[in-house]
A and B are shown apart, each in its own frame.
Chain A
Amino acid sequence: GAVVSQHPSRVICKSGTSVKIECRSLDFQATTMFWYRQFPKQSLMLMATSNEGSKATYEQGVEKDKFLINHASLTLSTLTVTSAHPEDSSFYICSARAGGGSFQETQYFGPGTRLLVL
């Protein structure tokens, strides 16, 4: 099946710094990519949806200036956590979908990135 990678798998940073997380579709072109956040023992919460070449659409309550998303190519999307604080510590997961929006197009998930902000 299709493979989605994330880099890094784990990152520790100091409060106030910015962290970039990459999400790549390795063997297919991803028209749409999704970014999720998962707190311990909780569900995945959708943060934003990005379509290649256009601005990301953020879910209610997600600060777009804090979580910058760029989907510059059909195989790469990046999430930058700007001026990270300890409350941003979480597990960030991306998914990618080849199609334009039909549920017939499966979302393929990356392995996640664990962010710890000290």
Chain B
Amino acid sequence: AQSVTQPDIHITVSEGASLELRCNYSYGATPYLFWYVQSPGQGLQLLLKYFSGDTLVQGIKGFEAEFKRSQSSFNLRKPSVHWSDAAEYFCAVGLAGGTSYGKLTFGQGTILTVHP
């Protein structure tokens, strides 16, 4: 069965510092990969997604992610974090086969705290 692992439950960075959130997946076929952000009281917002093609994907709010098939990873990065980036981030893999088509499997989430 497919699974998504976010090894870091909580990350703290200083404002202006770079950020990398890790995501590893286990899936038997080419995955569709997503990163979502969840702020308190708000729904999950899509940051970026990977379907195929260029393995470096650009998203909103200055985020990018790189798909590395050999490492089964899809890490999220941002060169300079802003205080408003503090939130919980979820990595997800989309299922494209059979009755599971269109469904998302989420990682456990990483809470990002930003110090001024």
Q: Residues 76-118 of chain A: 1 if any B CB is under 8 Å from the residue's CB, otherwise 0?
A: 0000000000000000010101000111101111111000000
Known: A42-B108, A43-B106. A109 touches B36 (CB 8 A): yes
What is the minimal beta-carbon distance from A69 to any residue of chain B, in angstroms? 15
What is the minimal beta-carbon distance from A112 to any residue of chain B, in angstroms? 7
Within 8 A of A (CB), among B1-41: 4, 9, 32, 36, 41
**Which residues of B have CB within 8 Å of A97?**
102
**Which residues of B have CB within 8 Å of A75?**
none
Number of interface residues of B (CB under 8 A): 25
Chain A interface residue number, banded: 20 to 34
CB–CB A43/B90 < 8 A: yes
**A46 an interface residue at 8 Å Cβ cutoff?**
yes
**Which residues of A have CB within 8 Å of B108?**
41-43
Residue positions of B touching A, CB distance < 8 A: 4, 9, 32, 36, 41-46, 49, 51, 90, 94, 96, 99, 101-109
